[in-house]
Structure 1
Amino acid sequence: MNNTAAKIILLLLFTANFAFAQVTHKDTLSERRTSPAVNPLTELKEQLDDFFGDKSFNNAVWGVMVKSLKTGEVIYRRNADKLFTPASNMKLFTSAAAFLSLGSNYKYQTSFMGNGEFLRGTLKGDLIIQGSGDPTFSNRFYSSSKKIFEDWADTLKAKGIYEITGDIYGDDSAFDNIGFGKGWHLDYESSWFASPSSALSFNDNIIEIRIEPSEINFPAKVSIDPDTRFVTILPKVLTADESAESNIKAARVRGTNLITVSGQIAKGTKTITEHVSISNPSLYFLTVLREVLEKSGIVIRGKIVRLDEADKNIDQNNLVPIFNHTSVPLRLIIREMNKNSNNFYAEQILKTIGLEENDLGTVDNGVKTSKILFNDMGINSESMVLADGSGLSRLNLVTPRQIINLLTYMYKHEDFIKYYESLPIAGIDGTMADRMKRTVAQNNVHAKPGYNEFVSSLSGYLKTISGEPLVFSMIVNNYLTPPALANYIHDNVCQRLINFNRN
């Protein structure tokens, strides 16, 4: 073959390849033009279906709703109108009702009054403390559990009172005497997270127990805070060798303040702390208060008694005011309740709502007022069950849509920023401090988690990468998997929602 023929063959081959490439390119462009574009919203819904369709939850039921606060569009829903046990998502309702009913600047008043005459440093008569349900008398708001009582001792002495010849009475009539919630499991009675409510309360109505190792095979060191004679501790903890596993159990005998601490603690172990609820909160308050007053040098001749158990008639119209203690604003109390999922605070606040609107702090009165508020929000309160303020009760029933409607209403309310800032922040603080760390959700998701046996929930607010504000509610009931798996789904859904972009 000569050079000319070779060149002709090469030219023909090049021309054929070029023509084929052009056809292929046209076909590819044609296919691109005819292939339907992926709809971001459709893709999101499919992915959320995959999350909530996880086979580990085949025996469970998910209730979910996601809504845009920008457009009002419901982005996703799954059993949104079914009733679920919400666990601590109930605190979203309690705190919203408190903001609307009481106001963010509401403050509790605790009054000190004298029943008798004041003469040369002596109250010749009785000291009466009238409570209104203030939950803050603890180291959550003061430097130590007894600090507020020490301050009160200083105030009494500044008023010239160094001796009280009569009794110290606690007036807890602002609330009823039903401390244990409706629908709470009886096994919770001595648990710190189920401490009783009362118009006179102290230290969250719990006792802190500290266990330290001593020498091997010898009893461990057991101490309490506050150090008080109100409770009786039966220590049954031995110190085991370094290789042993520490195992401590602290429980209160039902209806008493006798607390048994049992088990073992390994040598070299750091102090182990347990918390147990107490019985008779008003008497707890009065006992520790008396101990602090006496330690400060104030002589008390009489006894401590709840006012409704007084053995004499006390005319409250003739009492002499000594001083009033005013709490921090309600917005800070709600912040503690929501950030740390404080059940005790939630029950106190619900009864306070009832007290202010119906003159007696009861759960029923608090619920009655709250339901009126929820109806005004457009939430049909007849289609929900509110049994307590904390969500500890298994009798509570709400729908994801009701939670969404609540959160949407609060988004437009003048106290929204205070409400929003009271919620735990993913990866930052409260009960969300260790969740979604180092993800797009950190410092973005503001939400209230909830947990009870076979119940896990998460509801709140977030913003997508395009800045669109979303409100969401996820509840799962009757699951048998480890709670961490439910959290995993909650957290991943939040991250997926944040990455949602309509463009």
Structure 2
Amino acid sequence: MPNPPLSFLKIFKQNLADNHISIDGIQVRNALKKHKEILWQYQSKPMIELAKYTNDYSINHFSEALAWSLIQGDQPANGYLDKKAIHKFFVPYGFDSADIEDGCGLAPDNLVQPTQMTNFLSLMSKKLGQAVVLDILPHAGEEGYAKYFLKNDPVQKHIWVKSGSVSKVQNYTGIFKGQSGKYYAFSIMTNYFIGEHKDVQKAIQNLVKNYIEEL
């Protein structure tokens, strides 16, 4: 809910109308102050640390805030995410045909291909360095929700992975180190599957394990 006061007023106005209470002449509009007063300032941790913590524990509010930071720069936040600006930002990173509706990936209308995700990881590994990308991604068996990916399996230490799930959706994107010593980016997405999440998770994890042992 980007603007709680405005949302409350809209609901309140509708309730008045539903109860036959006259609301003629009452308008509900979003009026932003031109000159905002600074109430408090806080020096946050470095952006790369915030990104890592966000990935480790899938903090959606942080994801949204990071998206706003990317597209708004030093402009004051207004509570609304400009989808066109997000798309424009990510086009140079291989997402020209993607539809990114929000910063955390929960919007049902998001359309992103696994190939785009693997290409993105490959590109960022070249741009930032593989060590930096691996540090940002959760390390299986150690950090956040990735702690349970192939739990207690010897290959666990060779996987860096970010998971994403909602009802009937289970996705994994990351990097693994094959038995040959080479590193591979992977992205596996399942939508509208029949069955339990735990069964899909197990199947995907076993698939990744097979790739590690074969490559």
TM-score normalised by L of structure 2: 0.77
SS at match of 1:351: helix
Partner Cα distance (1:434, 1:494) in 2: 14
Question: 1:427 touches 1:435 (CA, 8 Å); kept in 2?
Answer: yes
Tell me the CA shift for residue 178 of structure 1: 2.3
Change in 2 beyond 3 A, CA 1:337/1:441: same
CA RMSD, 1 decimal: 3.0
Aligned to 1:481: 195
Question: 1:354 touches 1:362 (CA, 8 Å); kept in 2?
Answer: no
Match of 1:386 among 97, 100, 104: 100
Tell me the CA shift for residue 400 of structure 1: 1.1
**CA-to-partner distance for each residue in 1:137-172, whole Å, 9 max, x for gaps?**
xxxxxxxxxxxxxxxxxxxxxxxxxxxxxxxxxxxx
Is 2:151 the counterpart of 1:437? yes
Please list, as runs of the form range in 1=range in 2, the aligned pairs for 1:36-435 lying within 5 A after superposition.
178=2, 324-356=41-73, 360-361=77-78, 363-365=80-82, 367-377=83-93, 379-381=94-96, 383-414=97-128, 416-435=130-149
Structure showing the higher helix proportion among its residues: 2
Is 2:207 the counterpart of 1:490? no
Gaps of 5+ in 2: 10-30
TM-score normalised by L of structure 1: 0.35
Please list, as runs of the form range in 1=range in 2, the aligned pairs for 1:465-476 lying within 5 A after superposition.
465-476=179-190
**CA-to-partner distance for each residue in 1:288-307, whole Å, 9 max, x for gaps?**
xxxxxxxxxxxxxxxxxxxx
Partner Cα distance (1:483, 1:333) in 2: 28
Gaps of 5+ in 1: 1-176, 181-253, 257-307
Question: 2:3 touches 2:79 (CA, 8 Å); kept in 1?
Answer: no
Question: 1:436 touches 1:491 (CA, 8 Å); kept in 2?
Answer: yes
**CA-to-partner distance for each residue in 1:414-451, whole Å, 9 max, x for gaps?**
26533321222212221111221221331211011110
Structure showing the higher strand proportion among its residues: 1
Partner Cα distance (2:148, 2:42) in 1: 36
Change in 2 beyond 3 A, CA 1:368/1:415: farther
Aligned to 1:464: 178
Change in 2 beyond 3 A, CA 1:356/1:444: same
**CA-to-partner distance for each residue in 1:384-404, whole Å, 9 max, x for gaps?**
111111111111111111111
Change in 2 beyond 3 A, CA 1:446/1:348: same
Aligned to 2:160: 446
Identity of aligned residues (%): 21
Greater RCO, CA 8 A, separation 6+: 1
Partner Cα distance (2:145, 2:102) in 1: 20
Question: 2:158 touches 2:178 (CA, 8 Å); kept in 1?
Answer: no
Partner Cα distance (2:3, 2:180) in 1: 48
Tell me the CA shift for residue 380 of structure 1: 4.5
SS at match of 2:53: helix
Tell me the CA shift for residue 357 of structure 1: 6.9
Question: 1:346 touches 1:389 (CA, 8 Å); kept in 2?
Answer: yes
SS at match of 2:174: strand
Amino acid at match of 1:478: Y
Partner Cα distance (2:192, 2:88) in 1: 30
Partner Cα distance (2:134, 2:79) in 1: 27
Partner Cα distance (1:309, 1:452) in 2: 34
Tell me the CA shift for residue 361 of structure 1: 5.0
Amino acid at match of 2:2: I
SS at match of 2:58: coil
Change in 2 beyond 3 A, CA 1:329/1:466: same
Partner Cα distance (1:491, 1:469) in 2: 17
